[in-house]
Amino acid sequence: VVAFIEFSHFFDPLLVWIGFGVATFLLLPYNLTIERRRTFEAQARAELELRAAHDMQMGLMPKEDPIVKGFEISGACIPASEVGGDFYDYVWLDSKKTKLGIALADVSGKAMKAAMTAVMTSGMLYSEAQRNQSPRQILARINQPLYLRSDKRVFTALSFAVIDTKTKRLTYSSAGQSHPVLLRNGTLTYIKTQGVRLPLGVKEELDYRDVKVKLRSGDSIVFYTDGVPEAMKADGSLYGFERFEQLLKRNSIVASKQLRDAIVGDVKTFTGNVEQHDDMTVVVVKVK
């Protein structure tokens, strides 16, 4: 107590402050180095996770367009700067390759959580497709395990279409995915399903519906995720459905790959240099 009260009697305050200053000067670079190293390590771990998630997401996508007699099919997924959960895929439902399944998925969330859910969804999709079921049955059977096993804050918007290449009939079902567009003789029609359209994983029991469309020569069907109409430019305005529809009508007779590229290119022209905030996936089917 005496030493505390009469501090200056025992120690020269100036020497104490000088010692404190010297210690701070000597130790500060060390502390900064430790803090920088921790920050660097955290950033490196985050970048490694993003890279792994990106590789997982890209690994789900087809490496090339499928060759299907009587049809032209072309798809693309343009990932955002932050890894999301978009993916698309093609799967044959029969050994004779007469029924082609086309899947488009958009998993909510980012990075590894979205990528893992996308991988799990893709695996279930392949498993159920081998049973040669209707799209609505496939969606319903995938929904229950996703609800039980995935994070309750993560949902999967998934559409599944089956094209019978012999009869040229399209059977389509959707779990919260954007309505595909049918282009026929210069006119545009949205293919809409009735009943439940909730994404997979929202409720344990969901009963989806199918819609059937008889395709004709010259028809084009455009499947897309919400990254297309919800693309945003610097002033906050959205690409929107009106501009999307006008583009489709102007390009209604072009080949599938040309139409796919026209959609992606027009969205990028609209957004300019603004960083892409959501994945953008497009699949175009053209009936020869």
Taking only the tens place, the pLDDT of each residue in 48-80 is 766 766 677 677 789 999 999 999 999 999 988
Q: What is the mean pLDDT of residues 229-251?
A: 95
Alpha-carbon distance of 215 to 81, in angstroms, equals 37
CB 50 within 8 A of CB 264: no
pLDDT band at 258 (very low <50, low <70, confident <90, very high): very high
pLDDT band at 247 (very low <50, low <70, confident <90, very high): very high
| Best-predicted range by mean pLDDT (101-115, 148-162, 240-254) | 240-254
pTM of the model: 0.82
Predicted confidence at residue 49, as pLDDT, reads: 65
Taking only the tens place, the pLDDT of each residue in 124-170 is 998 898 886 799 999 999 999 998 887 777 889 999 999 999 999 99
Backbone angles phi, psi at 252, to 5 degrees: -70, -20
Taking only the tens place, the pLDDT of each residue in 155-211 is 899 999 999 999 999 999 999 999 999 999 989 999 999 988 899 999 988 999 999
H-type alpha helices, the chain? 2-5, 7-10, 13-59, 111-129, 135-149, 240-250, 256-271
Alpha-carbon distance of 114 to 85, in angstroms, equals 5
